Amino acid sequence: MERIQNSGVDEEPPTSPAPAPPHSTPTHTHHSSGSPPPHPNSLRDDPPRYWEHHNKYSRSANTGEHARTRRAAPDNRNTCSLYIQTDPLIWAHVREGFPDHKDPSKKAEVDMKTREEILSLISHHVTAVNYIYRGTKFDGRLEHRNIKFEVQRIKIDDDSLCHPHHYQSETNQFCLGNIDVSNFLNLHSLGDHEAFCLAYVFTYRDFTGGTLGLAWVASASGASGGICEKYKTYTETIGGMYQSTKRSLNTGIITFVNYNSRVPPKVSQLTLAHEIGHNFGSPHDYPSECRPGGQEGNFIMFASATSGDRPNNSRFSACSVGNISAVLDAVRDGRKRNCLTASAGAFCGNKIVEVGEECDCGYDGDECKDRCCYPRQVSAYDREQNSTAKGCTRRANTQCSPSQGPCCQAQSCQFVAAARNQTCREAAECSHAAFCSGDSADCPAPAAMPNHTKCNNGTQLCKDGECSESICRAWNMSECFLSSAPNPRGDGVTAVVVDRRTLCQLACQTGPGPDSCKSTADFAGKVGLPEGGISLRPGSPCDNFQGYCDVFLKCRAVDAEGPLARLKNLLLNRATLQTVQAWVTEQWWAVLLAGVALIVCMGAFVKCCAVHTPSSNPKRPPAR
C-alpha cells in the first residue's frame, strides 16, 4: 500500500508541495503556473498541526472567538466519477487462470470469461471502497456525508496489443515491461482524464519494495494533484532543457501482485481505498495516536503493510478524516475545482450491470461486442430496426446477455442449460466449483469447504468459504508477529528478533505476555508440524506490519517514504544543495584545478587522435 507521506491533520493550508516524480530520468522536475505539482504521496511531516486538530473539540476551542458552527454542504453533489483501465498484464494473469486458455478453439469463450472476470473484479473493488467512504463522516467546516464512487467508463486492454505483429504494439504504453511504479503512474497521467473525478489503472506488475499502489495527493491549498484535477501543461526540465508536457494528476494505480504472490482481495480493496484517500488529500497517518497498531490494527492510511483482518484496517483515522475534510471543504467553497456530481444511480455504458439495467455491454458499438444487448449509444441502424431500442436493455427475443453473468450463451443469448454441467467458477482452496443452474445468467454461490480446512500454503484455515483464519486457531492460540523492535505498548503481540528470515516464520501466542509469542519452529514437534515450523508465504505482512516477506522468505521493510521521496531527497533537497555549494565555495581552488586538468586532457586527446583521423584536406599529411 503506498507509502510516501507522514502527516497529521492540516488546519491551515499546507505549504507548496514537492516536485512531481521523474518521467524517465532522475533530472526531471515539473512546474505549472509558477508552482510545481505534488509528487505522488508527497512528504508532509507536521506534528504540531495534528495537535491543533486534536484540540479543536476542547471547551476553549468552542467558546468565545474560537466558536464556530458547522453547516451542511449546500447541495447533494457527493459522487466521484471513476474511469478504470486494466492493463495487458492483468488480462494475461486472469486469462491463464482458465483451464482452456491454451486451446485455440475456445479462444473466444475464454476471452469472454476473462473480460467478465475482470469486470467482476472492478465491481467488487468499487463496492468495497463505497462501503468504506459512505460510512465515514468527513466533517470540516461543512458536513460531507455519503461520499461515493460511480464507475462511468472501463477500458480493458487485452495482451493482443502487445504482440510484435500488432499494428498498435508500439503505441500501447502499458505493453512496456520493467516499468517502475513512479514511471507507470506517469504514463497513466499522460492521458486526458479531465472528464472524470479520478482515473485508475489496475495492473499485475510486481513493483519493487512491496509497493501496491501510488497516487497523486490532493491539497486543500489548491496545489495541483488529486481529485478533479484538470488536464493541463507542466514544464519539465530534462538535462537542463525545458519541454512542456500535458498531464492529468487526478490519477492513481494499484497492483494485484506482491513478491510474486496474488494479493488477497481484502488487501487489494483496502489498497484502492488507501490510494483514493491520497487523491482526497490524506497523507499517511501521523503521529502515533493515528497508527495505534495492536490487536485493533492500524487504519487505512497506515504507511506500511496490512493484513486487512483487523477492525481498524477498514477505517479512517481522525488524522485522515481531518485531512480529507479540509480538501472537501476546498472543493465545496471553490478553492479547488468541483467535479463531484449528484448520484445518477445506474450509469449505462460502464459495463457493470446495476439496479435498473437489464444489461450493460459498454458505451457504444466499438465497445459493445454483445449481440444480446444495446450499448448506451444506440446506433442508427438499430433504431431503424427497433424504434423503441434503449441503451442497456436486451434485444428482442433474448433471454439474457453475457454482461449479466457467465451463464449466458453469447451466441444464442439464452441461459446455459444445467444439463451441460458448465463450470462458471473454478474451485478454490475454501470453496468448491460452481456450475450454471440453467435459470439465471448469474453463477450460483459455490459451496464452502469445511471450516478449519487448511489453506494459503498451510498458514491459514478456511472459515465460511474464505481463507481468513490463522492456523494458530487449530491449536487454540492466536497469531502474533515476531518483530525487529520492542513493542512500545507492551500488549504482548510481538516478540523481538533480529534475523530477517526468522521474521518470516509464522508465530503464535502461546500465553500471556510478550515472551509468549513463539515461532512455530519452536513448538513444531508438539503440534505435529515438520521441523522448522511454517513460513509465511511471499507477500505476507511481517515484522508487525512494517514489511513484507519476499520470494526468499526474508522480511523486507516497506520504505515509508518511497522511491519518489528518496529521489527528491537525494537530488533536490535543500540540505544537499547547500552542502554542495559550501564545498565549492571552500574548495574553489580544487574546482579550478579540476577544470584546467579536464581542458588539458581533452586537448591532449584531440591532438593524439587527430593524426589517426583521415581528412579530405589534400594539404594535410595522410593519417597514420
Contact in structure between 175 and 88 (CB atoms under 8 Å) = yes
Count other Cβ atoms within 10 Å, centred on residue 350: 27
In this structure, are 459 and 439 located in the same domain?
A: no
Burial of 179 from C-beta contacts in 10 A (0-12 / 13-18 / 19+): middle
Could you say which of 557, 576, 600 is where a domain stops?
557
Does one domain contain both 247 and 320? Answer: yes
Residue 17 lies in a domain: no
pLDDT tops 90 at residue 497: no
Which pLDDT does position 578 carry in this prediction? 64
Q: For residue 287, say if its preceding peptide bond is cis, omega within 30 degrees of 0.
A: yes
**566 inside domain:** no
Q: Are 49 and 138 in a shared domain? A: yes
Angle ∠(125,562,338) on CA atoms, nearest 5: 50
Q: Which residue has the higher pLDDT, 529 or 608?
A: 529
Between 31 and 86, the higher pLDDT residue: 86
pLDDT exceeds cutoff 50 at 43: no
Are 52 and 90 in the same domain?
yes
Look at 411 and 55; give whichever has higher pLDDT: 411
Amino acid at 591: V
The yes-or-no answer on residue 12 being catalytic is: no
Query: Is 605 buried (19+), middle (13-18) or exposed (0-12) by CB count in 10 A?
Result: exposed
Do 114 and 215 belong together in one domain?
Answer: yes
Is 418 among the domain residues? yes
User: pLDDT higher for 624 or 511?
Assistant: 511
Together in a domain, 438 and 476: no
351 assigned to some structural domain: no
In a domain, 609, yes or no: yes
CA dist 348 and 328 (Å) reads: 27
Q: Minimal CA–CA distance to 267: which of 62, 510, 541, 542?
A: 541
pLDDT at 169: 47
The confidence score (pLDDT) of residue 305 equals 82
Residue 486: is its pLDDT beyond 80?
no
Q: What is the pLDDT of residues 275-313, one digit of tens each?
A: 999 999 999 998 888 988 888 889 999 988 888 888 999
Q: Where are the alpha helices (DSSP H) in 104-223?
A: 107-134, 181-189
- Per-residue confidence (pLDDT) for residue 34, from 0 to 100: 38
The answer as to whether 317 is a domain residue is: yes
As a whole number of angstroms, the distance between CA 324 and CA 329 comes to: 9
Instruction: Return the CATH number at 395.
Output: 4.10.70.10
Q: Is 50 exceeded by the pLDDT of residue 24?
A: no
Which of the following is catalytic: 229, 275, 358, 479? Answer: 275
What is the total count of domains within the chain? 4
Q: Is residue 464 domain-shared with residue 440, that is, in the same domain?
A: no
Asked if residue 3 is part of any domain, the answer here is no
- Residue 13: DSSP 8-state: P
Q: Which of 126, 72, 142 is nearest to 134 (CA)?
A: 126
pTM: 0.76
- Do 472 and 597 fall into the same domain? no
> Which of these, 458, 409, 451, lies nearest to 430 by C-alpha position?
451
Binding site listing = 274, 278, 284
Do 535 and 615 belong to one domain? no
Among 400, 427, 447, which residue terminates a domain? 447
CA distance 131 to 234: 36
Residue 244's beta-bridge partner residues?
235
| Domain end point (choices 385, 416, 447) | 447
CA neighbours closer than 13 Å in the CB half-sphere of residue 297: 18
Q: Is 384 exposed, middle or buried (0-12, 13-18, 19+ CB in 10 A)?
A: exposed
92 and 119 belong to one structural domain: yes
Give Cα separations from 284 to 3, 36, 46, 281 (angstroms). Answer: 7, 21, 12, 10
The reported pLDDT for the residue numbered 40 is 58
Annotated binding residues for Zn(2+): 274, 278, 284
CATH number of the domain bearing residue 211: 3.40.390.10
Give the C-alpha separation, 346 to 321, whole Å. 28
Calpha distance 17→218 (Å, rounded): 10
Give the separation between CA 351 and CA 593, rounded to whole angstroms.
Answer: 68
Residue type, 602: M
Residues 420 and 510 in one domain: no
pLDDT per residue as tens digits for the range 332-381: 988 999 999 998 788 899 999 998 999 999 988 888 989 999 999 999 99
Mean pLDDT over residues 79-101, rounded? 93
Burial class of 241 by CB neighbour count within 10 A (0 to 12, 13 to 18, 19+):
exposed
Domain assignment of residue 395, given as a range: 372-447
340, part of any domain: no
Residues 312 and 396 grouped into a single domain = no
